[in-house]
Amino acid sequence: MLRDLWQDISNIKQDSGGINYALGLVEATDRLAPSTFPQKIKILLKQAEDLLQSHQMNDKATILRIARAYMSLQTGEEREAIELSENTIFTSINLSSESWAKLIYIMALAYSRMGELEYAYKMVDEYGISSINSIQKKKSWVGTQMFWLKAEILWKIYLLQNYPDLWCGPPTETIKKTANILPVNPSAILDQIKFAKNYATHSEDWPFNEIVRLTLLGMQPEDSLFLGNSKILENMADSYRQINPAVAGWALLGAALLYFKQGKNSKALNNVIQTNRLAQEYQIGILLRITLIYEIHLRELQSDYSGALYAQKSLSVLQHKSVYSAPLTPEKKFSGFAEQKIKKTPKHLQRAIEYIDNNLGKKLNVLLVAEYCQVSRRTLELQFKKYKQTTASEYIKGKRMQAATDFLLKGELPMYKVAEFLGYSSQSVFSREFSRHYGLPPRSWLKNHQRRLD
């Protein structure tokens, strides 16, 4: 399994002069991979790089500078990653073939996250692959990553072409041309993943290949064999949680995409919240940024606009570090809210929404709402699915949770009264439902919200 770089670095022994520790970092960063605490790693790498340069060990200092550029990708600082890579190319003398390949890989990955998929693809195809061929080693670690990156770019283009709602880069309005640069089908992605896997040795296993493969197969509507892939990805996340939390987070996100595709928005949101907590705990900026984008989208679909705006505020804090000058989410998602959406909905659905909004304290269920609206339960469910992209029961839960956060923030009612007012049989049932929706119990959520505002 792919180990966590932070764990490996933590095991390197410090020495009085620091030079042996610096050389240990050079050896540890030979294989670049997503890691926990990338910001802390960047600081250690910079200190060791300066020390090696003072000892005229410039080649080894260059290795650490490349690793620092890669860690900038993990903190969500694409601009810095590109600048460090370009400066290394322009200032380094006798840059090795392997270092050159790593720099091409880092820049291509940065551009792909900026949404410049065509440029990233050409960079990999025209420069990256040729740089791999020039490395004397028959197979190299960076070669595995380069071939994988080609598959990842194809995967992103496929999402843009077929599932734009699942795209997590810049708003699709800014990169419409990208989706048409080349037609991509699942077979092309699977072939590239297989090629990357065959290129790697067993000790160089790259789990992200498997995450994309399982996610892609699970999204194919004609094949019911892969409906359980979301559970497989969740199990994969559990197996990596202690070994490499970054891998665990990406696996959880893959499962979230499948749940979203299946219309199971609550399960998707639960996975996104788990990933968000992992990203915050281990300070993985890029993972946090992507989970917030998905969280905003999912909460809006569930009409949890206060939750969506709360996530948007958190995302705005990260934006200054990102490469995007435009907002990370389309502005139209946050203007007008329910009023604009209700105008587009059928009368029966409008009536159902109004009834739910005005009766959150009652024991609501879908059948009761359908009877009030004088339509069949199936008709009401289909209308919710078509116009709200969620089920009626999930909509009811979402509205109750939205009201719950409003009550908590006002602080006017004790917890048991909030539970009673929203129609829950007990405070414990309310707390359990709240935890499933937001990932934290009500009191913990409130403390976390107040701390982030401070």
pLDDT tens per residue, range 258-315: 998 888 888 899 999 999 999 988 989 889 988 988 888 888 887 787 788 888 878 8
Question: 268 and 256 in contact (C-beta within 8 Å)?
Answer: yes
pLDDT confidence tier of residue 29, bands split at 50, 70 and 90: confident
pLDDT confidence tier of residue 6, bands split at 50, 70 and 90: confident
* Sign for the pseudo-dihedral over CA of 343, 347, 348, 352: positive
Query: Which secondary-structure segment (H or E) carries 305?
Result: helix 305-319
- Statement: residue 365 has pLDDT above 90: no
CA distance 70 to 322: 14
Q: What per-residue confidence (pLDDT) applies to 1?
A: 60
Beta-carbon count within 10 A of 398 CB = 26
Calculate the alpha carbon distances from 190 to 133, 152, 364 in Å. Answer: 22, 10, 45
Q: What angle do CA 309, 311, 312 make, to 5 degrees?
A: 60
Calculate the alpha carbon distances from 237 to 241, 243, 418 in Å. Answer: 6, 10, 35
Pick the closest to residue 295 from 286, 304, 284 (CA basis). 304
CA distance 132 to 97: 8
- Statement: residue 449 has pLDDT above 70: no
**Average pLDDT estimate for 223-249:** 86
Q: What per-residue confidence (pLDDT) applies to 249?
A: 93
Alpha helix segments (H runs only) across 55-172: 58-74, 78-91, 97-113, 117-122, 129-133, 141-162
Q: At what angle do helices 78-91 and 58-74 cross, to 10 degrees?
A: 160
Question: 224 and 20 in contact (C-beta within 8 Å)?
Answer: no
Q: What per-residue confidence (pLDDT) applies to 215?
A: 92
Question: 258 and 219 in contact (C-beta within 8 Å)?
Answer: yes
Q: Which two tokens stand for residue 124?
A: 């990999």
Least trusted range by pLDDT, from 125-129, 250-254, 411-415, 448-452? 448-452
Question: 149 and 308 in contact (C-beta within 8 Å)?
Answer: no
Around 379, how many Cα atoms within 13 Å sit in the side-chain half-sphere? Answer: 12
Q: Which two tokens stand for residue 326?
A: 């435009």
CA distance 296 to 310: 8
Mean pLDDT across the chain, nearest whole number?
A: 81
pLDDT confidence tier of residue 125, bands split at 50, 70 and 90: confident
Percent of the chain beyond pLDDT 70?
84
- Pick 255 or 143 by higher pLDDT: 255
CA distance 43 to 65: 11
